[in-house]
Structure 1
Amino acid sequence: MASGNKSIFRTKSIEAMLSESGKGLKKVLGAFELTMLGIGAIIGTGIFVLTGVAAADYAGPALVLSFVFSGIACSFAALCYAELAAMIPVAGSAYTFGYVGLGEIWAWIIGWDLILEYMVAVAAVAVGWSGYIVTLLKAGGITVPAALCNPPGQNGGIVNLPSIIILGIIMLFLIKGVSESTKLNNILVLIKLAVVILFIVVGVGHVNPANWHPFFPYGVNGVFTGASIIFFAYVGFDAVATAAEEVKNPQRDLPIGIIASLLVCTVLYIIVSAILTGMVPYQQYHNNAAPVAYALQQVGINWGSALVSVGAVCGISSVLLVMTFGSTRILFSLSRDGLLPTVFSEVHPKFGTPVKSTVLVGVITMALSGFLQIGRLAEMTNIGTLAAFCVVSASVIVLRKKRPDVKRPFSCPGVPITPAIAIVFCLYLIYKLPHFTQGVFVVWVSIGFVIYFIYGKSHSIMNFEEQK
């Protein structure tokens, strides 16, 4: 069952993983729902918020190339995810793949890392959702008091109530069941895709090529720094892999969901960033939290600006739904393996969902978004995802060597070159991130090591497997 009796690098066999898979979780998802989950997680804050910041402060019109670079880096990683997700259709995503390929300590660290990444992302995105909804309500004549839509210490705030309310609603949807949650997600994704396409159709006629000069205001280096910042825009396609145990035909549908959602989003990102920087000089997006709506306003299309705001609310809501879902499934997997208390892997007999995991994630994200100024912590999601991509890519190489006998319904092309390229791309983007982000990552990982050696190593179900 395991490699090394008490080794921190002991691995779990694929057969053991598959034998645990699907106990209690309902299988309700197909390729369409998975693709929509991926788009739901990817298109949101990245396109409606971060495009402006990255253009103004990091890349200028060359932001288009930043998206191309990030998209390529993600594509190599996505091919690795597709192989492992089809081969090991078990909840937990990078955590599960790391456990089978690299060993328990790597799996724990990446699982611990992903929990932080998802929860901080959810909290940060909820604050963005709150900003959009407060603006929309104001346009409709309803003013939310500053004390109730800002955290303590910001503009006289006491609590960011809208962000707490939306996360409470999402928690209830996820408790009720995955089927209901994906139906809501499908509707939200269709609305935001319609809004993005509307922006492309309306905006392309207002592009002034003069705004693309100079194309490299921050130099070529700005393209790569921009890529490391807007990588946040791609965080989420790994959430498709966290749903593995709830998929009806995982061997066929998981690779389709992962690759299709990434391709659709990359194409849309490249087109939108080109139009955005062509409509309005990139400098004007500095500190602008709603660049798409702002660009339409500047060219006199106010009705389009209002529609984009509605689309942004829907888009960001679906990000919250999918990212919260992802964090609950990773917590569920860590708990089921004994690395965290097993109470969080209990599945509700009626709803078929891990209710206690969902409530814990809901409460923590509500507290973070309601009472903290997230600020630079949002950048933590980038380094967490990049580290996860490295672990997944390395696991593909290791498992091709160690377990060539296992059936691979989808094979990543060009192994070991493809996963090696993914690792190099991701390590380079980690290197380009701010030092603050790298520092927080080191602190969080250090806390993870302490928890593993105090609790996880002795409670791991691998200890009991080894006694058999």
Structure 2
Amino acid sequence: MSQNSANTKKKLGLLACIGTGIGAIIGSGIFGAIPEAVNLVGAGMIPALILAAIYTICVMFPNVFASSVIPATGSFFLHSTKLIHPFFGVWQTLQGMLQPALIGVFATMFANYFVILFPSLSGHTTAVAAIMLLVFGVLAWMGNNIFANTGNVMVIIMLLALSVYIFLGVPHIDMSKIAFGDVFKGGVTLTTFSTAIGLFTSTLSGAGSVSQIADDLKNPKRDIPLTLIIAPAVVCVIYILMGVVTLGNMPDGALTDLATVGQNYLGRGLLTFFIVGGPLCGILTSIIPVMMLSCAMIQTSAEHGIFPKVVAKKNKNGVSTIVLIYVIALTEFLVLSGKGVGELMTMFSFVNTACAVPTCLVPFYLKKRYPNSCDYAGLKVPYKLVVTLSGFALVVSVYLAITMLIGLDTSSWMLILIMVVVTILYFFVRVAYIKSHGGNLLADLRAPYQPWEEQEAKCKAMNEAKAK
């Protein structure tokens, strides 16, 4: 067998790519955002979800289009750094460093659902979460293919469990509980409604993790754009169905988890299947791609000089051991911090939405830098439409980020502020250090990315041949 054949077998196809994207979204969206959104705005979660889906589609387009023109592993970092300014690459690096906050959310939710099945562990949820993180840290060390193959099996099981929750719950819906006309009554404000939108936007955008592993895909120019559109569309429909069933069957009072709703109409056996196949599988499939995303973003930053080269050194499975240790260690710290799932989700949603700003700016620079490559984009969309949607998403991203920041408690936004200040100071120290050794980090970061330059040259030659 040739080396090329072996490499091809190791790469992921379209179905694996879409499965990874769906798994990344569903685990965080359904089992984390829905209970929190219901507590915030009640029946308002449905219009909040619809508006979040519209925004997500718009904010996806910049990354979808850019990835179809110039795909690359670590695209968020490279697109922002090479096309706009190194500062935006540093900001994307900060997002990667804070991504473990979302892994911590998943770990805590996993433990909460797990102890429902094993009540004797009810006083040890933190230990359950910590042990689960170590197990998946080992899986992470084994590389992206292990993650994707494991995740796709779980996605299938999870979709079956969600079907049970939805179709058996529909006949029991109490329509009097779904009063959309009362969205802004009972203490719901525009700020809380916007926060609910922000929670859903971050969860619907989970499919973006596949754009960070372009080197592991057989056909990234085709598979990444399709996944970034198909995965959120499929999940949005599931979200709406789950939301209606949840609202129509939930008991009075605050909603802590979806198992509380399911026990109203599911027998013990089906409820167990729902918990295992739904929340547990859903959360695990989210942890898998988010760990991939965190490692890929930090590794890409190290490969381009923001961190020492040793940080980017990968094992035989393509994973940086140092980066993985950092991700697991920070996640373990957050699990032990005592912050609730809702607060951690809002923190992550703020960072995720704020980091969408440079992504929305990318299309404005892309056509100028790589005009010929744009002519051969894998996604055939009018450039003016991409720019229009990017501009709309840019404005909404800024608004949602401000709204969620206002909603955070003092300790949370102070933690974010400290991370921002420390990262910026480190970057300037790193620049000075490299300069003292005869290098120029800023110039290196601004330098064109060679694979894109080679692609542009080929596309230019094709355009010139057509013009003859």
Aligned to 1:347: 314
1:192 aligns with 2:158: yes
Classify the secondary structure of the residue corresponding to 1:44: helix
User: Is residue 225 of structure 1 aligned with residue 206 of structure 2?
Assistant: no
Instruction: Give the counterpart letter for 1:380 in structure 2.
Output: M
1:109 matched residue in structure 2: 91
- Which of 404, 427, 430 is equivalent to 2:401? 430
Pair 465,402 (structure 1): closer, same or farther in 2 beyond 3 Å: closer
Deviation string, structure 1 residues 129-175 (Cα, Å, up to 9, x no partner): 1111122122xxxx1272x43xxxxxxxxxx2211221111111121
Q: SS at 1:416's partner residue?
A: helix
Structure 1 counterpart of 2:390, which letter? P
Residues 82 and 145 (structure 1 numbering): CA distance in 2 closer, same or farther, change over 3 Å? closer
Q: State how 1:122-141 maps to structure 2 within 5 Å.
A: 122-138=103-119
Between the aligned partners of 1:424 and 1:26, the Cα distance in structure 2 is: 42
Query: Partner of 1:249 in structure 2?
Result: 219
Q: 1:25 to 1:161 in 2, by over 3 A?
A: farther
**TM-score normalised by structure 1 residue count:** 0.84
Instruction: Tell me the distance in 2 between the aligned counterparts of 1:449 and 1:216.
Output: 45
What does residue range 66-145 of structure 1 map to in structure 2 within 5 Å?
66-116=48-98, 118-138=99-119, 143-144=120-121
Summarize the Cα distance change of 1:264–1:464 in structure 2 as closer, same or farther, 3 Å threshold.
closer
Deviation at 1:184, TM superposition (A): 0.4
In 2, the alpha carbon distance for the partners of 1:405 and 1:317 equals 41
Code of the residue aligned with 1:453 in structure 2: it is F
For the residue of structure 2 that corresponds to 1:433, the secondary structure is helix
Q: What is the percentage of aligned positions where both structures have the same residue?
A: 20
**For residues 78 and 467 of structure 1, do their structure 2 counterparts lie closer, same or farther at Cα, with a shift above 3 Å needed?**
closer
Partners of 2:238 and 2:447 in 1: CA distance:
53
Letter of the 1:51 counterpart: I
CA deviations 1:251-282 (Å, max 9, x no partner) are 1111111111111111111111112112236x
Cα distance in 1, alignment partners of residues 321 and 418 from structure 2: 29
Matches within 5 A, 1:38-49: 38-49=21-32
- Equivalent in the alignment of 2:461: none
Q: Secondary structure at the match of 2:237?
A: helix
2:292 aligns with one of 325, 334, 337: 325
TM-score (norm 2): 0.84
Any conservation in 1 of the 2:24–2:206 contact (CA below 8 Å)? yes
Deviation (angstroms), 1:66:
0.7
1:33-78 deviation digits (Å, cap 9, x = unpaired): 111111111111321233122112x221121111111111110111
CA contact (8 A) 1:34 1:240 kept: yes
1:293 corresponds in structure 2 to 259
Tell me the CA shift for residue 422 of structure 1: 1.1
Matched, 1:33 2:16: yes
Counterpart in 2 of 1:162?
Answer: 128
> Within 5 Å, which residues of 2 pair with 1:356-435?
356-369=322-335, 371-375=336-340, 376-407=343-374, 408-413=377-382, 414-435=385-406
Residues 255-266 of structure 1 mapped to structure 2, 5 A cutoff = 255-266=225-236
Aligned amino acid, residue 268 of structure 1? I
1:4 maps to which residue? none
The structure 1 residue matched to 2:416, chosen from 415, 425, 441, is: 441
Q: Distance in 1 between matches of 2:339 and 2:8?
A: 33
Q: Are 1:451 and 2:432 an aligned pair?
A: no
- How far the C-alpha of 1:461 sits from its partner, in A, is 5.2
Which protein is richer in helix relative to its size?
2
> What is the identity, as a one-letter code, of the residue corresponding to 1:455?
R
Alignment check: 8 A CA contact 1:132 1:312 kept = yes
Q: Is the partner of 1:43 in helix, strand or coil?
A: helix
Cα distance change of structure 1 residues 401 and 450 upon mapping to structure 2, 3 Å threshold: same
Q: Measured at CA, do residues 409 and 46 of structure 1 come closer, stay the same or move farther in structure 2, by a change above 3 Å?
A: closer
Aligned partners of 1:53 and 1:144: how far apart in 2?
24
Change over 3 Å in CA distance of 1:301–1:66 after alignment to 2: farther
Structure 1 residue 465: Cα displacement: 8.2
- Measured against aligned partners, the alpha-carbon deviations of 1:14-40 in whole angstroms (never above 9, x if no partner) come to xxxxxxxxxx99961121111111111
Aligned residues: 422
Residue 93 (structure 1) shift: 3.3
- Provide the secondary structure at the position in 1 that maps to 2:319: coil
Report the CA distance shift for 1:204/1:327 in structure 2 as closer, same or farther (over 3 A). Answer: same
